[in-house]
Amino acid sequence: MTKFNNRREFLKISAAGALGLTVLGPLACAPKAVDRKSFGVGLQLYTIRDAMAADVLGSLKKVSDLGYKNLELASYSDGKFYGYAPKEFKKIVSDLGMTILSSHTQVEAAGITVDNAQKMADDHAELGVKYCVQPWVNEEDRNIETYKKMVGDWNEVGKIMKGVGIQFGYHNHNFEFKNIDGVVPYFDIFMPEMDPEYITMELDLFWTNKAGYDPVDLFNKYPGRFQLFHMKDMGKKEAPFFDVNKDDVTSVGAGVIDFKSILAAKDVAGMKYMFVEDDNQGNGRPFEELEVSIKNLTTDILV
C-alpha cells in the first residue's frame, strides 16, 4: 500500500490523477470493443466464391478478421474441400479461430449410390461438420415426379449421414413454392415427405420472402424443423415470384426484412445456427458488404 508523507503530497497526486481523466475524456471510460466472434455469426462461403478460387488462405483470414465465427462450405469435390484434404482444411480454419459447421453438397436427380453417399459422409465426418446440406435443384428437374424421387433419395442419404453423426439438410430458394398444377412442392412434397429425423431445413429468409411467405408462419406450421437460417436481406418488397432472380440481394440489415421478429421466433423454428450469404458476392465488393452485415448483426439485430 502506498504511504504518503503528508496530506499535501496526497492531494497533489490525487489532483494529477483527476487531470489525467479530464484530458482523456471519453477515452477513459470508453466501452469495450464488441467481440464479434462471441455472437457466433456464420458465413456461407459461396458469398466469396471468386475470392476463394483466387486465394483460399487470404480470403479466410479476411473473413476471420471481420469477426465471423462459423463457416458453411460450398466446395466439395473428389474428397477435398477447396482443394485441401479434410483434416488439412479443418486445421487451416481452426488456426484462424473459426469453426466449420456445415457444407453444401449436391445430390443430383440421377441419385447417388450407397457407396458414393458413404464416401461423402465419411469425408464430411473427417472434416468435423455438424451439417451437410443439399443446396439446389436444377431447373430441368423442378417437376412433381423428380421432386418426389429426389426427396426419397435425400432421406436415404440422410440416414447414411446420421450414421456418422451428421445432420443432412435442404436449403430452399423460391421455386419450391411455385404452384405446379395445384401442387406446391414445398408444402405438398418436401415438408410431408422429408423425414425430420434425417433432413432438417435450412431456411433462406430472402428466397422465402420473395416467394411471398412469412418465415414465422412456416415456423408455426412446422415447429422445430428449421435448424439453420440463411441470413440475407432484400432491397424492396414486391409481388411474389419464382424465378431465381437475385438482383435484389443486399447486406443483412440494409434492406426491408424484419430480422428481429424472425429471430424472436427462433426457438419455435428450432434454429441453432445462422449463416450470412450474398448470392451476388456483394456486387463485386464482397468483403465490404460482409462488414456491413456483421456490423448490423452484432450492434443491432442480435443485441
Interatomic CA distance for residues 97 and 34, integer angstroms? 16
Structure confidence by residue, pLDDT tens digits, 44-67: 999 999 999 999 999 999 999 999
Residue spans of the domains in the chain: they are: 1-30, 36-301
Phi, psi of 51 (to 5 degrees): -65, -40
Residue 84 has pLDDT above 90, yes or no: yes
Are the C-beta atoms of 269 and 10 separated by less than 8 Å?
no
* pLDDT band at residue 32 under the 50/70/90 scheme: low
Alpha helices in the chain, H assignment, sequence order:
7-24, 49-54, 56-66, 86-95, 114-127, 144-163, 185, 191-193, 205-210, 215-221, 259-263, 266-269, 286-296
pLDDT confidence of residue 30 = 52
Q: Read off the C-alpha cell for 151.
A: 426427396
Does residue 210 or residue 113 have the better pLDDT?
210
Average pLDDT for 247-262:
98
pLDDT at 24 over 50: no
pLDDT confidence of residue 1: 43
pLDDT of residue 33: 82
Return the pLDDT at 110. 85
pLDDT of 117 > 60? The answer is yes
Give me 24's grid cell: 482523456
The dihedral region occupied by 241, where left means phi > 0, alpha psi between -120 and 50, and beta the remainder, is: beta
Asked if the model's pLDDT at residue 17 lies above 50, the reply is no
Q: How is residue 75 written as a grid cell?
A: 466446395
For 158-195, what is each residue's pLDDT tens digit?
999 999 999 999 999 999 999 999 999 999 999 999 99
Q: Confidence band (pLDDT; 50, 70, 90) for 3? A: very low
**Joined grid coordinates for residue 205:** 429468409
Q: In terms of Cα–Cα distance, which of 141, 118, 102 is closest to 229? A: 102
Check whether 43 has a pLDDT greater than 80.
yes
What rounded mean pLDDT belongs to the chain? 92
Place 31 in a pLDDT band, splitting at 50, 70 and 90.
low
- The whole-model pTM stands at 0.89
Domain 36-301 fold? TIM Barrel (3.20.20)
pLDDT, residue 56, reads 98
Would you say 297 and 253 are in contact if contact means Cβ atoms under 8 Å apart? yes
- pLDDT of residue 25 exceeding 80: no
The owner of cell 440421377 is 110
193-220 pLDDT, tens digit per residue, is: 999 999 999 999 999 999 999 999 999 9
CB-based contact 164:122 (threshold 8 Å): yes
